[in-house]
Amino acid sequence: MRRTSWLVALVLMAGTAAAEPAEQGLRLKADTALRAIPVGINVIADAGYRLPLSASDNLLLRKTYLEGGFTGGLSPAYLWAGGYVEALPLALLQLRASAQYMQFFGTFGHLFEPAAGSGDGGWSLDALKDRGGITEGKVTSGLMLEGRVTPRLKLGNVVAFAELRFLRLSVKDVEDTWYEPYYDILLASTDTMFIARPTAGYLLMAEDPTRTFLLAGARWERTITDKTGITRDLLAALLLWKIPTDWWARGGQLAFLGGAWLDHPNRSEPYIAFQFTTEYGAR
């Protein structure tokens, strides 16, 4: 259920050697993700226009671009909608900024406010399970601002990057704290969050990565919140398979992420997630 720009970064790096130069035009990318614990599903999509920044074959400038447009997310509990700007000024550095309106429908208990004084236990799995019926969440809205910096590198069949996310979230009508269901974390009514996701992997079945490949790797994730003072760490293995283009002309990617919490206020269960990604238009 997590937004997985790490997936897109790996796909782009995997195809660097054989892919065509960046093209100008409209572009659509959609991620459908499912998380097992706590259960959640959502779709996140970008619809934008991409401009190539360079026609050079230099390894640092090849396939650089500037892109902007609409971004949004949808789950049974909430809707995000806003705009984004993304750039690859150098092959080693991806940048992104977005601003999104958030609307919580009140379904499946979200937006959920833990009981005052309940502490970390207020967003344990048991607390989430007992939070109320399908329509007993709070109906409200808010704003999410995000900045993202992703240094990345590909050497032969080895790919690595370190995605850094900086987020500021603010919701209305929350007196104390609230549970954010996408990132699975507790936040103050206005709070900031930092997420670091260093990832490394190795490409298998990659004789022609524009057709298909399998990437196996590992990721460490650290999340830190400001006002609620949460620090947590996740160590996970990942598998990413590009569906062969002779099976499906446009292709797609399937990803699996499974790991364990090394440091978490109230999660000891494994982390398991799946994602399906499709892309159309300029790339």
Which tokens belong to 111? Answer: 């937006």
pLDDT in the model for residue 19: 42
User: What band does 223 get if pLDDT is binned at 50, 70 and 90?
Assistant: very high
- Give the model's pLDDT for residue 134: 66
* pLDDT value, residue 83: 98
Number of domains in the chain: 1
- Residue 47 structure tokens: 């619809």
**CA 20 – CA 4 distance, rounded (Å):** 24
Indicate the length of the chain as a whole number.
Answer: 283
Residues spanned by the domain of 183: 5-281
- Reported as a pLDDT band with limits 50, 70 and 90, residue 165 is very high
Q: What would the mean pLDDT of 246-262 be, rounded to a whole number?
A: 88
Here the CATH number for the domain that contains residue 242 is 2.40.128
- Residues 145, 177: Cα–Cα separation, whole Å: 18
> 11-34 burial string, b = 16+ CB within 10 Å, else e?
bbbbbeeeeeebeeeebebebebe
Query: How confident is the model over 122-145, as a mean pLDDT?
Result: 84
Q: Could you give the CA distance from residue 202 to residue 230 in angstroms, rounded to a whole number?
A: 32
Tell me, what's the pLDDT at 245? 82
Contact between 77 and 110 under an 8 Å Cβ cutoff? The reply is: yes
Residue 22 has pLDDT above 70, yes or no: no
Q: Which residue has the higher pLDDT, 23 or 24?
A: 24
Helical ranges in the chain per DSSP H: 5-14, 125-129
> What pLDDT sits at residue 77?
93
**Residue 200 pLDDT:** 97
User: Rounded to 5 degrees, what are φ and ψ at 104?
Assistant: -100, 130
Taking the CA atoms of residue 87, residue 78, residue 142 and residue 175 in that order, the dihedral angle to the nearest 10 degrees is -140
Among 5-14, 152-161, 179-188, the minimum mean pLDDT is found in 5-14
pLDDT at 5 over 60: no
Q: 127 vs 149, which has greater pLDDT?
A: 149
* pLDDT band at 9; cut points 50, 70, 90: very low
What does the block give as tokens for 106?
Answer: 């009140």
**Over the chain, what is the mean pLDDT?**
88
What pLDDT is stored for residue 12 in this prediction?
Answer: 43
Token pair in block for residue 211:
């057709």
Q: Is the predicted pLDDT of residue 4 greater than 70, yes or no?
A: no
Ranked by mean pLDDT, the top range of 59-68, 98-107, 122-131, 132-141 is: 98-107
Give the pLDDT mean for 225-249: 92
Does residue 13 carry a pLDDT above 60? no
